[in-house]
Structure 1
Amino acid sequence: MAEQTQNTEAQIQELQKQIEQLKASQKSPYDVYQTSLTSRYCSAEMTQLFSQRSRHSTWRKLWLGLAEAEHELGIETITPQALEEMKAHLIVTDEDFEAARIEERIRRHDVMAHVHAFGLVAPAAAGVIHYGATSCYVTDNAELILQAKALDLLIQKLSKVISNLKAFSLQWKSEPTLAYTHLQSAQPITVGRRSAQWLQDLTFDLENLETVRANLKFRGAQGTTGTQASFLEIFQGDHAKCDKLNEILCKKFGFPACYDISTQTYTRKVDLIIAQAVAGIGASAHKIANDIRLLANFKEIEEPFEAKQIGSSAMAYKRNPMRSERICSLSRTLMSKPASFANTLSTQWMERTLDDSAIRRMDIPEMMLLAEAVLIGLDNVTDGLVVYPARIRSRFLEELPFMVTEAIIMKIVAKGGSRQEAHEEIRVISRQAASVVKMEGKPNDLIERIRNTEYFKPIWDELDGMMKPELYVGRSVEIVERYCGAGGPVEKVLAPYKEYLAQSTTAQLNV
């Protein structure tokens, strides 16, 4: 025992010497590539969650959990002292990382490198760390734990955006605005009715995330190919203890159960299911941000713009929608992730291949970071949208003469006229009015043309009363009230997040 302690001390001394050498050669962070997700766009909470310290400290918690469960089930070689030493070193230190890095250079195996580093600081446990487990016991279970926590963060942030748009929709439920099909003026709606459509897409995303999160399970301790053969041997053929082992692990790490079937890994179908739900945020956000960019071009609605913000380095007057553009940019990358996860799933030969490893190291954190960055931007934008009612009404009135033509046809028919004749009369003078607008740059004179066309004399007296935008928005107000108001679907969707929403503030952009 004394000789083993002496050897361990010598290893530690040699390690400390190598650490000092490595520290002396370290470069400034400005000399190495950094992802903009962590340096510019995401919260400290999410970036910390997917940090190396978080990941590898989770590995240590998993190793401790396994050892505790095995000890509880009668494995005497795992001593109380071993467990205590493991508990005392669950957070991986900088020195531990250097120890693992040096070891990985030799072994070319990251899990065994960290087993070695853990054993250095918990020598009583060095011989039993990872007992019966395969590498995926820590890597896969850690990824499930991290993704579960990331989904919790995304769900909360998404609920905040939904809450923003709920309030916005109710505030502007009665403000008439031009609607567009094919990006051409169509039957009017209201400002709040349009934002309620954005809102509904996000509620679908929230429901999908909630479902994925609720159905997320654990890999557990399944052995090298998912048969639990190693644990069956450890427990001397006791199948009940193999089941009990996973029950204990699920309870320790907050999962309802293990997946019924695992190979060396949990099926990569799980990652794809998660990715499809998370990427849905990107699709919804891209549509919303695109609409806002178009409305900004119309000068009807704008994203927040700070007092000293610069829109263009050359054109000082500009108010470029940089927040919405950023949302679109990040969303495009997020929307591409399911294809990557699908490819990874499809190429897992038999019980697993390692070509899933390097790509998932990037894909899983990037997916969650991208989604959070999108939601941070969307929260900031939707909680500060600026509406210009006078401009909206002005643009509406330019198109209103065309909007009332359907109502004019119906009134003519109600007074005994022919719908086909009325349609033809309207078609001819509408095109004449459109030509004046497009070819001569003059105001829309369709109503005057109607006043000067004898065919429409039966409804001349009613024309002034028809020139009110509010008459053409259909049931927009009622639809918004029913959907966003008290007791409506959105209120029910947000009910689980009342406490979070009461404490949350609008996300501020780092840059």
Structure 2
Amino acid sequence: MFGTAEMRAVFADDALVARYIEAERALARAQARCGAIPARAATAIDEAGRNLVVDFDRLRRETEIVGYPILPLVHQLSEAAGEAGGFVHWGATTQDIMDTANVLQLRAALDLVERDLATLATNLAGLAAKYRDTPMAGRTHLQQALPITFGYKAAIWLSGIERHQERLRQLRPRVLVGEFSGAAGTLASVGAGGLEMQRLFCEELGLGQPAITWHVARDGLAEAVSLLGLITGSLAKIATDVMLMMATEFGEVSEPFVPGRGASSTMPQKRNPISSELILAAAKAVRQHVATMLDGMIHDFERATGPWHLEWIALPESFLLTASALANANFMLGGLVVHEQRMRANLDLTGGLIVAEAVMMAAAPRLGRQHAHDVVYGACRQAIEHGGRLADILAGIPEVVEALGSREEIERCCDPANYLGLAGEMIDRVLGKSSAAARSAA
């Protein structure tokens, strides 16, 4: 329920160990390129790493003793490399390999998130365009406030997703950098050519070269998880709206129907908003991991005594939860059923009270804003306490009829579809920006 097969494959144990080996192989190739180790040794290490069948039982046993997996893995890789084994992990420290492997995972995971965000943006753009002019009640403090359109609501959802797409693009160069710096981060183990060796190592892996060691500067990984917190926060907002709109008393939308999905074990009529519920739960869990990653930034001196380990939990779980939330959001929004007639019926529930502001603003030029407010307020109180349509009550007030010019004008002002403000223009602006961004990405 809380993950996808693709994202789980990125963070699986065997995939992580494969990333460790990938980093060790790249290091050997880079060191051969700059003459730090013999080319023949690098070729042997690269070949051994490519064909290594890891003894995971041994790796587990030794890792439990050492506390980290790299030294036990280096033992196996060195043995497989034969005479060249003495050049494995040359000048590196455990955290160099683990950090770099995590960045390789992060790159693959961000690719999946970016793809799913693009699908989500397409789904939301479709809803915004299709329902651009479909009026519904806008609500503040859970009360009907003013008319909006469903397309306007979808375009607001879309605008947040587009900002997340921009944030993801911007963080890549800050976060996708390699790590090869040695025990205290000074590259003392490899000497004068260390920075060139580091550059070649990062180049081998397609990663950026850091300006300085980031063993204890964890803002990059914290930023990545913070972005996931923002993404899932936006998804949870959408899910909350959908769940409320699915309530029987609202009945304005429904999640896609799949036989048995969201069913109750005892109430045959139930169709629960299960996708939205899963999104909300995932978002709540990711937020806790954001706090964990921020706490984990507080490292002591040049190598931490525990905060680093927090990332081993928070990073993969955050991406799994985010993948789940995105998958559920795309399923739900890709097949969302919109009940336009129910939206209109709910809009008319108050007998025109939802557009009281429209009447007030139309009468204000003749009556003055405050007096117009007081007159319409009195009419609203009468409608609330004694029932009746607001338009009929206003038609019985001579100064309102005079201010608006006719009974027909009162009826026009009291039609919610005529008081949508600039919702349509705003939707068009968002959709125009979305189309331009899609063309640019292509």
Alignment TM-score, normalising by the size of structure 2? 0.92
C-alpha change, 1:105 and 1:161, in structure 2 (3 Å) is closer
TM-score, normalised to structure 1, is: 0.80
CA contact (8 A) 1:53 1:91 kept: no
1:4-44 deviations in whole A, cap 9, x for unaligned? Answer: xxxxxxxxxxxxxxxxxxxxxxxxxxxxxxxxxxxx34332
The 8 Å contact of residues 310 and 316 in structure 1, kept in 2 or not, is answered as no
| Contact 2:261 2:274 (8 Å CA) reproduced | no
Q: Report the Cα offset of residue 187 of structure 1.
A: 1.8
Query: Aligned to 1:215, what secondary structure does the other structure show?
Result: helix
* Match in the other structure for 1:277: 227
- The answer to whether 1:255 aligns with 2:207 is yes
Partners of 2:43 and 2:368 in 1: how far apart? 91
State how 1:16-165 maps to structure 2 within 5 Å.
40-76=1-37, 78=38, 80=40, 83-84=43-44, 86-90=46-50, 93=53, 95-105=54-64, 107-165=66-124
Contact kept in structure 2, 1:57 and 1:91, CA below 8 Å:
no
- Find the aligned partners of 1:142 and 1:431 in 2 and give their Cα distance: 66
Residue 450 to residue 59, structure 1, CA distance change in 2 (3 Å): same
Counterpart Cα distance in 1 of 2:202 and 2:251: 54
Letter in 2 for 1:173: R
Cα gap change, 1:341 to 1:326, in 2 (>3 Å): same
Consecutive unaligned residues in structure 2, runs of 5 or more: none
Give the secondary structure class of the aligned counterpart of 2:349. helix
Q: In 1, distance between residues paired with 2:370 and 2:39? A: 93
- Relative distance call for 1:132 and 1:468 in structure 2 (3 A) is same
| Higher alpha-carbon deviation: 245-254 or 212-221 | 212-221
Tell me if 1:337 matches 2:297.
no
Report the Cα offset of residue 318 of structure 1.
Answer: 1.8
1:354 to 284, 290, 305: 305
Counterpart Cα distance in 2 of 1:217 and 1:321: 37
1:161-240 alignment runs, 5 A limit: 161-232=120-191, 239=192
Matches within 5 A, 1:380-419: 380-399=331-350, 401-414=352-365, 416-417=366-367, 419=369
Q: What is the CA-CA distance between 1:48 and the residue it aligns to? A: 1.1
| Distance (whole Å) between structure 2 residues aligned to residue 230 and residue 292 of structure 1 | 57
Taking the aligned partners of 1:276 and 1:365, their CA distance within structure 2 comes to 13
1:286 to 224, 233, 236: 236
Answer yes or no: is the 8 Å Cα contact 1:86–1:125 preserved in 2: no
Q: Which of 460, 468, 482 is 2:429 aligned to? A: 482
CA distance in 1, matches of 2:67, 2:409: 85
Distance 1:418 1:73 in 2: 82
Give the whole-Å Cα distance in 2 for the aligned partners of 1:420 and 1:354: 66
Distance 1:212 1:127 in 2: 38
The residue type equivalent to 2:338 in the other structure is: V
SS of the residue 1:187 aligns to: strand
The AA in structure 2 aligned to 1:349 is D
Tell me if structure 1 keeps the 8 A contact 2:62–2:72. yes
RMSD: 2.2
Q: Tell me the CA shift for residue 208 of structure 1.
A: 0.9
Q: Classify the secondary structure of the residue corresponding to 2:429.
A: helix
Superimposed CA distance per residue, residues 218-245 of structure 1 (whole angstroms, 9 cap, x where no aligned partner): 343211111110001xxxxxx2x22221
Over 3 Å counting, the alpha-carbon distance change for 1:246 and 1:130 in structure 2 is: same
3-state DSSP class of the match of 2:168? Answer: helix
Residues 367-421 of structure 1: CA deviation (Å, up to 9, x unaligned): 111111111111111111111111111111123511343333344455x445544
Deviations for 1:36-88, whole angstroms, at most 9, x for unmatched residues? xxxx3433221111111111111112112212222222245x46266235424
- How many residue pairs get aligned? The number is 437
State the match for 1:425 in structure 2.
Answer: 375
Structure 1 residues 173 and 75, CA gap change in structure 2 (3 angstroms): same
Alpha carbons of 1:109 and 1:429: their partners in 2 closer, same or farther (altered >3 Å)? Answer: closer
Q: 1:447-487 CA distances to partner (integer Å, 9 max, x unpaired)?
A: 33233444444333433333433211112112212220xxx
Cα 1:391–1:67 shift into 2, 3 Å: same
| Pairs within 5 Å for 1:296-311 | 296-297=246-247, 298-311=250-263
Counterpart of 1:269, as a letter, is D
Name the SS for the 2:147 alignment partner. Answer: strand
